[in-house]
Structure 1
Amino acid sequence: MQDPITNAKRAAGEKAASFIRPGMIVGLGTGSTAYWAIQKIGALVKDGLDIQAIATSEASAALARELKIPLTTFAETQRLDIDIDGADEVSENLDVIKGGGGALLREKIVAYHSKQLIIIADEHKYVPTLGRFPLAVEVIPFGWEATGSKLQSLGCRPLLRAKGEEIFITDNGNYIIDCSFGTIKEPQLINDALHNIPGVVETGLFVQMADKVVLGYEDGTTEVREK
């Protein structure tokens, strides 16, 4: 029997997959909630759904290949019809923090080039104001110490992400500095300020990018919120 949180994640992922139509180019997100969406998409493909997909991480690409979901690349198409991805936090304004899984750069590229971004999350990720969850900021390794110092000047507590005893390395060969702000009342201003720091590649703030948010509840029901 699934635990209640997993049940909520699965419900959200499967509901989001219901928005996919034949012939679409689909963005495959990364993380524990996106996993369930990819599983459902794989089942739909097995039943005859004709789509192509672009994955936001090596892990999601491997899962897609395992499920026989046809993958394509930006060399073959520059526009996706729909992107389904998870979140670490979703605000009442539908602003989003992502990056807990370390795939924020590819996730934002895929989201930006999609006609529709559907964010999926369990009910506990829905918050009045962003910031309780540390904001992931992807930085180049060169000079990361200086970059981190500048991040701190914006009012956060920066922490270089580790994986065991080693520095965490993204699929793009970069580092991640997790920035604890406590609250982020003006995400666009913070996002702009972060991008003004040389060495910052991308942030986990997805400001007004989500078209739909599918919330999954522990009883297996879902709720769709739109802009």
Structure 2
Amino acid sequence: MPNERLRAAMAAGGWTYATLADTVEVDPKSVERWVNLGRTPRRATAVAAAETLGEDVHALWPALRQARPARAVSPELVALYDQRADVPVSAIVDMLKPAREHIDVLVYAAVFLHEAYPRLNDLLRERAAEGCAVRIAVGDSESENIRQRGEEERFGHGIESRCRLALMHYRSLVGVAGIEVRTHATTLYNSIYRADDQALVNAHVWGVNAFAAPVWHLRRSGKGGMFDTYADSFNAVWETARPA
């Protein structure tokens, strides 16, 4: 099918096959095929021809209007774990230890942290004493969302008791300078463990306990990436949370 839009653009500017071909450095027969057979040139050549004619390249060759291919891997993705149970607690601790500006924890309970690393509160106090802002948000055991999650995961009232236990673990940090502990009642789509420009994100899957759901380790590489998406999500939940 002829490319009538291209034919009209060339005619309006007084371009011939030969003159346009000479300008964009192709054979005149190629330009003729673009017009009469509706052939699509290489993208770089098409862009040069469109600029020469003062036209939009996608208007002349709609076939070039393709979405940018998705990256196979985000540049911020450090590691991907099949499930949280595969993440060594030492990996979380090693991420928290060097934190200088931010430590954020958003969970419903995650009592595994204190069970596997009894010095967690001491570590958080040490970080806060050196100027690191520590924010801990655990689930409100009275929340309807907590009750619903227990039903979905077939865990019954166990998750509510674990939320209360998590709050008990963090209770001694309430009032410590540089540390804030709050409870939230939001639907938790992801648990987030952030230390400065790194984060572990535990995705939640309907009907699956958090320990069996995947985790991605992110490292911030610039504004507007995956890391910032989760950091902003934490901040949004934090604004709704109540001081413990």
Question: Given the two structures, how large is their TM-score scaled by the length of structure 2?
Answer: 0.28
Task: Tell which structure's C-alpha radius of gyration is larger.
Answer: 2
Query: Of Structure 1 and Structure 2, which has the larger fraction of its residues in helix?
Result: 2
Which one has more relative contact order, counting CA pairs under 8 Å at least 6 apart?
1
| Between structures 1 and 2, the one with greater strand share | 1
